[in-house]
Structure 1
Amino acid sequence: MATTYNSDRDSSIAWADEPIDGFDTDLNRVAEKVSAADSQLTPDLTAWDEDREVLAKFSQSEAMSEMGLSGYSKTLTDDAVGAFFKEMARYPLLKPSEEIELARQVRFLSKVETASEKLQKELGRKPNRQELVEKLKISEVEFTQKLHEGRTAKRRMIRSNLRLVVSIAKRYLNRGVPFLDLIQEGALGLNRATEKFDPDKGYKFSTYAYWWIRQGITRTIANDARTIRLPIHIVEKLNKLKKAHRDLRRDLQRNPSEQELADALDVTVDQLRSLQQVRRRSLSLNHRVGKGEDTELMELLEDSSTQTPESKISENMMRQEITSVLGEVLTEREKDIITLRYGLATGETHTLEEVGGIFNLSRERVRQIQTKAMRKLRRPQVAARLKGWLK
């Protein structure tokens, strides 16, 4: 399993230097909300780093809310996607030599961060700029220059590889997460890959970044795609189930049986059925169905046998009154026999033989006791108390 990362840490990815057809103003306002790491190093460094931009969160819900609109708008969403693609096309792919050079400049940012964390532990507070310069044993001018070069290199690497984010995000369409949100999470993974990449190990940056981007996208699908969130390990099992079903269907030229799937996953049939049950997705009761979509699912699933709260209360009151009458008029055994015969306590009736077995009486003796009890209940003063519940 890939290592998880904190998307709040230095989530600032810049991809726009100029406004795009009036869209940039609204986008920047959204971006201000998600920039939580501007003061990651020190307060002094934040003031100095004026060229740092933030990753704009292209989620439909936040963008629409920020612009004062309710609900989603297909037109505005398409505009956001178009603006992103237009901006992405401005930056050419990097050559291998450029990747190595830029990655080495970005490595300085990791050194600054490591030094900052050590100093914070030693001092019990965030270090200032001068303390960082002394810790790194370089001049202030060199520190300023390398920090600027590192951040500029990082932005350039991110911008030039956003095509990879889109390419991977396309593979996860129709998984319950909007396309723009997939791009956003993939961009955060790309940001993390840029920070962690070591060019001296001989790998291409795109090969390394692929796994970080994919992890960001798959994790957000696991967390946000379902109405009821499933644990990550269950999501991974469901992915294995899906892959096993696809492979077996290809090899067998038919749908695999439950036993074949269970054997492929090394689980029991009962465990497989539990996974298949969890796999089902929830559906809104307000979902419209039918040819004209004029019927809500709730109307089709309504349980007419379910009692309303009023009828339930009325039934309970009636049971209490009947129990009270039986206790006042009948003997204890008569009361128990009538209660069992007519299911007054549980709603489940019993035959004469069943009642006789409980009280160790013959069928005929139970019938006699029942007849005697019913005569008592038919007395006018008793029947009047029960008549009101028979309407």
Structure 2
Amino acid sequence: MRAQYRPHLAVVDMTLASKTRSKPPRLSLGQFVKGLPRRGVVTWAHLDTWLEGDSETFARETKRLAKGLDKIEIRVVGIPPSAPEFDPPYQFHSSLRSDGVLPYEREVGKRARLSRAGEFRFARRYEFLRLRAKAALLAAGFGEDLIKALLVQGDLDKAEWPAKAMKSRTLIDRVVARVTEFEELRNGFLEGSLYLVMKGVHRYRGLGIDTADLVQEGNVSLFQAVEGFDWRRDVRFKTYAEYWINQAFLKMLYNNVRTVRVPVWVQKLLKKIKDLQKASEQENGRKLTSTEVGRRLDIPAAKVEELLKTQRYAVSLDAEIGGNDDGGRMGDLLEDRRYIPVPEQVVDVRLRDRLGEVLNHLPERERTILTQRFGLDGKPPRTLFEVGQLLGVSAERIRQLQEVALKRLRLPQTQGRLRGFMSA
């Protein structure tokens, strides 16, 4: 089920005790529970003593702890934020002023970030309160599927309560209290990590997706990261969440920046091809052939050519040319095959002959360079590197000689021979 979550930036105080607060002496679980007043409260400062035990026995111990607290109706209350759990707010180097989300960015910038210790502590608390909320929902007669949905969406007001719960005010109050505790802790977990979403938004802005949509998608992925994080793997939540946020942004870009949707796996493969071509141009001065690309990616050359065809983007036929109404529309440039134009072959022959006369006045090497570079011999144009290999000089030297040859063609006596064709 896809979680739809918009974080409420409210102050959440279910956090660790201050650094100067001394830890209570370690008692047995039974002694700890017996020492609590019935229908009383307990702070995280005391509960963390039991939640930070051995990871292998965590599940068993937390079940016993939850059952013991429920028997005497104990509520968990929060305490003010403290240094061990939080780092100072993240300072963004640039602003989203022009993107319409500046107020939200400023609000996130005021929130303290979860520290490494805080991430693991919140994750343990989260698992404990989830277990406790689930136990209350099961006792009230809720089914497994509905419990899963409620713990994700948290909308008890719209839920259809079982008949068993409706007969007992005590069950209703317990469910509401347990789910509220769970949601408040989750909000604190999310608020301490919202800066991760905004960091990602700064990286992916300006790529064709509305910034507000990026923020929303990032918040949803952060919510999913909280749901799926396993603190037992000894990996920071920051690292885990950044992966999911980046994946959400990439998927959003892949699915929305094109008019005709191209599958994500195709776009990822295209990126690999593009990276290979770019590296080849920098190292060898040329692009790889389809066969060479296919050999490196272990796919057929025909498949490479088919993939490259998907890089073409759709353009509206009503798009304006030149950015104003006077420039016409893109559709005006398309050929009408029903119209038979005046034959242009005669003009082409005259132009080719005249151009040959002009080129004959150039030195042989310059004439060869222009012919090869611009395909004047009817063959595909060649790169500077290819022409350099043909003449045994560097690509830079070919560029210099090309500039000299073009300057000769711009001389008045030369332009006079071609003026009639240039005005046509």
TM-score by length of 1: 0.51
Matched, 1:87 2:110: no
Runs of 4+ in 1 over 4 A off after TM superposition: 112-119, 121-127, 129-132, 138-146
Q: Secondary structure at the match of 2:127?
A: helix
Structure 2 residue corresponding to 1:104, chosen from 83, 106, 124? 124
Amino acid in the other structure paired with 1:243: D
CA drift of 1:156 comes to 2.1
Q: Distance in 1 between matches of 2:177 and 2:219?
A: 26
Match of 2:70 in 1: none
CA drift of 1:89 comes to 0.8
Match of 2:194 in 1: 162
In structure 2, relative to structure 1, the CA distance for the partners of 1:267 and 1:122 (3 Å cut) is closer
Unaligned runs of 5+ residues in structure 1 are 1-5, 19-75, 133-137, 308-391
Q: Distance in 2 between matches of 1:114 and 1:238?
A: 49
Amino acid in the other structure paired with 1:100: F
In structure 2, relative to structure 1, the CA distance for the partners of 1:122 and 1:257 (3 Å cut) is closer
Unaligned runs of 5+ residues in structure 2 are 12-95, 150-158, 340-424
CA drift of 1:204 comes to 0.6
The equivalences for 1:23-38 within 5 A come to: none
Give CA deviations for 1:188-218 in whole Å, capped at 9, x if unaligned: 1111001111223211111111121122112
Matched, 1:201 2:233: yes
Structure 2 residue corresponding to 1:279, chosen from 306, 311, 325? 311
Q: Distance in 2 between matches of 1:123 and 1:206?
A: 30
Q: Distance in 1 between matches of 2:319 and 2:207?
A: 18
In structure 2, relative to structure 1, the CA distance for the partners of 1:239 and 1:184 (3 Å cut) is farther
Range moving further from structure 2, 283-292 or 261-270 = 283-292
Q: Distance in 1 between matches of 2:134 and 2:268?
A: 33
In structure 2, relative to structure 1, the CA distance for the partners of 1:223 and 1:200 (3 Å cut) is same
Q: Distance in 1 between matches of 2:164 and 2:286?
A: 68
Give CA deviations for 1:252-301 in whole Å, capped at 9, x if unaligned: 45433333322222222221111111111112222223376742443433
Structure 2 residue corresponding to 1:120, chosen from 123, 127, 143? 143
| RMSD of aligned Cα (Å) | 3.9
Q: Secondary structure at the match of 2:204?
A: coil
Q: 8 Å contact 2:113–2:192 — kept in the other structure?
A: yes
Q: Secondary structure at the match of 1:279?
A: coil
Match of 2:365 in 1: none
Percent identity, aligned pairs only, is: 24
In structure 2, relative to structure 1, the CA distance for the partners of 1:285 and 1:14 (3 Å cut) is same
Match of 2:242 in 1: 210
Matched, 1:260 2:320: no
Q: 8 Å contact 2:99–2:211 — kept in the other structure?
A: no
Q: Secondary structure at the match of 1:167?
A: helix
Match of 1:150 in 2: 182
Amino acid in the other structure paired with 1:99: E
Q: Distance in 2 between matches of 1:297 and 1:114?
A: 65
CA drift of 1:78 comes to 3.5
CA drift of 1:176 comes to 2.9
In structure 2, relative to structure 1, the CA distance for the partners of 1:105 and 1:129 (3 Å cut) is farther
Amino acid in the other structure paired with 1:102: F
Matched, 1:14 2:7: yes
In structure 2, relative to structure 1, the CA distance for the partners of 1:88 and 1:246 (3 Å cut) is farther
Q: Distance in 2 between matches of 1:104 and 1:305?
A: 71
Range moving further from structure 2, 88-97 or 178-187 = 178-187
Give the number of equivalent residue pairs. 239
In structure 2, relative to structure 1, the CA distance for the partners of 1:242 and 1:145 (3 Å cut) is farther
In structure 2, relative to structure 1, the CA distance for the partners of 1:129 and 1:106 (3 Å cut) is farther
In structure 2, relative to structure 1, the CA distance for the partners of 1:265 and 1:107 (3 Å cut) is same
Q: Distance in 2 between matches of 1:123 and 1:253?
A: 61
Amino acid in the other structure paired with 1:262: G
**Greater share of helix residues, 1 or 2?**
1
Match of 2:364 in 1: none
Match of 1:242 in 2: 274
Q: 8 Å contact 2:6–2:216 — kept in the other structure?
A: no
Structure 2 residue corresponding to 1:181, chosen from 210, 213, 228? 213
Q: Secondary structure at the match of 2:113?
A: coil
In structure 2, relative to structure 1, the CA distance for the partners of 1:272 and 1:146 (3 Å cut) is same
In structure 2, relative to structure 1, the CA distance for the partners of 1:303 and 1:123 (3 Å cut) is closer
